């Protein structure tokens, strides 16, 4: 049933301050970090409007809102077991920063709840059963970028007591089921990731680059368990084919600066671009050999490759990619 103002405000008691006037009230909400006006019918408090006098407030794809430098989107869980966990177990990372952008995970804000009746299909949601991710310090041009970055960091650092939860948010989604490693190995992997820098400890992360690749990664996990998920993982690799050749390009630039031979420079760069995809894939994998060697060993143990060899691993990935593209994929990968 439709929520009235008394019900909504009581749920958010302690999260904001309000100043009532005739026919409207002004809210200052801690999570949103700014004031906004709510118009309402004093006779029928189920009739209210938060968009009328807040021109910067917009909703997107029936899943989220943007209000100036603030955005908030639903995180939807498909795994019923995950919903049974206590709030404190759902996320280790409740608040963190990406560069200058603040990220918060929590139940929907008052502003979100007041806006929700404009969301076709979402206005009957139970507030305490839902979670949102909010971004503060974004613009209308980059909120999708930071949404992708935030979802990536949640999957990279956050570990649930159970596996297989599937938070998805707008078009940037994630599915945390990294591998079928033993539980103790998964815990070790996450522990090592958190220990790599002090970013996790202080919950302030350096701004991430290459958000397009992160979006491919998020989509791949969202589709996890389906063959097409591999295609999105492979698109992440493709994205870095040339980026991983940075040192090679620097060498060519230095050669040009010393010899000023433009024809030689153009030929050298063109040769890199014209390299066969299979060679580019192997170059990329060799550039991160230390970080992914455990995957090569795992592939050998599962019979995907016959030897612990990066070249064979690369060829097998490329063959599987081609098999998917041409509709002839196998199951071992």
Answer whether residue 126 shows pLDDT above 70: no
pTM: 0.59
- Give SS3 for 299: helix
Give tens-digit pLDDT for 30-86. Answer: 999 999 999 988 878 778 889 999 999 988 755 789 999 999 988 765 455 556 666
Can you tell me the distance from the alpha carbon of 216 to that of 315, in angstroms, rounded to the nearest whole number?
22
Answer whether residue 122 shows pLDDT above 50: no
Give tens-digit pLDDT for 274-313. Answer: 788 888 999 999 999 988 888 899 888 888 888 899 999 9
* Cβ atoms 40, 49 nearer than 8 A: yes
* Cβ atoms 313, 296 nearer than 8 A: yes
Percentage with pLDDT > 70 across the chain: 78
pLDDT at 97: 95
Average pLDDT over residues 202-217: 87
- Phi, psi values for residue 222, rounded to 5°: -60, -35
pLDDT at 244: 83
Can you tell me the distance from the alpha carbon of 1 to that of 28, in angstroms, rounded to the nearest whole number?
27
Can you tell me the distance from the alpha carbon of 331 to that of 261, in angstroms, rounded to the nearest whole number?
50
**Nearest to 33, CA basis, from 100, 111, 91, 133:** 111
Place of tokens 């998964």: 186
- Give SS3 for 67: strand
Answer whether residue 178 shows pLDDT above 50: no
Percentage with pLDDT > 90 across the chain: 22
**Nearest to 62, CA basis, from 41, 42, 76, 44:** 76
Residue 88 Rama label (left phi>0; alpha psi -120 to 50; beta):
alpha
How is the chain split among helix, strand and coil, in percent rounded to 5? 45, 20, 35
Q: How many CB atoms lie within 10 A of CB 208?
A: 18
**Mean pLDDT, the chain, as a whole number?**
79
Strands 204-205 and 95-98: parallel
Does residue 278 or residue 194 have the better pLDDT?
Answer: 278
pLDDT at 172: 28
Give tens-digit pLDDT for 47-63. Answer: 888 999 999 998 875 57
* pLDDT tier for residue 104 given thresholds of 50, 70 and 90: very high
Specify the DSSP element, H or E, that contains 49: strand 48-49
**Adjacent-strand bridge partners of 161:** none
Can you tell me the distance from the alpha carbon of 310 to that of 316, in angstroms, rounded to the nearest whole number?
10
pLDDT at 273: 77
Q: Please give the DSSP secondary-structure letter assigned to residue 176.
A: B
Answer whether residue 160 shows pLDDT above 60: no
């Amino acid at each position: 049933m439709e929520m009235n103002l008394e019900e909504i405000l009581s749920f958010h008691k302690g999260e904001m301050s309000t100043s009532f006037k005739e026919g409207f009230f002004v809210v200052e909400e801690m999570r949103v970090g700014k004031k906004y006006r709510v118009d309402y019918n004093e006779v029928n408090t189920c009739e209210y409007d938060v968009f009328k006098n807040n021109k910067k407030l917009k909703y997107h794809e029936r899943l989220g809102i943007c209000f100036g430098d603030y955005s908030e989107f639903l995180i939807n869980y498909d795994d019923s077991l995950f919903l049974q966990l206590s709030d404190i177990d759902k996320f280790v990372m409740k608040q963190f920063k990406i560069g200058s952008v603040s990220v918060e995970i929590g139940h929907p804000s008052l502003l979100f709840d007041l806006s929700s009746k404009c969301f076709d299909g979402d206005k009957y949601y139970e507030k305490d059963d839902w979670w949102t991710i909010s971004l503060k310090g974004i613009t209308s041009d980059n909120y999708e970028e930071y949404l992708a970055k935030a979802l990536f960091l949640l999957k990279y650092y956050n570990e649930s007591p159970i596996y297989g939860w599937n938070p998805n948010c707008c078009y940037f989604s994630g599915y945390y089921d990294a591998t079928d490693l033993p539980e103790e190995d998964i815990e070790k992997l996450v522990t090592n990731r958190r220990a790599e820098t002090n970013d996790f400890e202080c919950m302030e992360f350096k701004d991430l680059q290459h958000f397009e690749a992160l979006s491919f990664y998020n989509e791949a996990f969202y589709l996890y368990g389906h063959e097409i998920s591999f295609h999105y993982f492979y698109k992440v690799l493709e994205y870095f084919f040339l980026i991983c050749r940075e040192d090679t390009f620097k060498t060519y630039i230095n050669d040009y600066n010393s010899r000023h031979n433009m024809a030689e420079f153009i030929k050298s760069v063109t040769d890199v671009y014209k390299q066969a995809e299979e060679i580019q894939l192997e170059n990329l994998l060799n550039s991160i050999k230390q970080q992914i060697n455990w995957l090569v060993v795992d592939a050998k143990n599962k019979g995907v490759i016959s030897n612990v060899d990066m070249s064979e691993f690369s060829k097998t990935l490329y063959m599987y990619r081609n098999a998917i593209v041409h509709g002839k994929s196998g199951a071992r990968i």
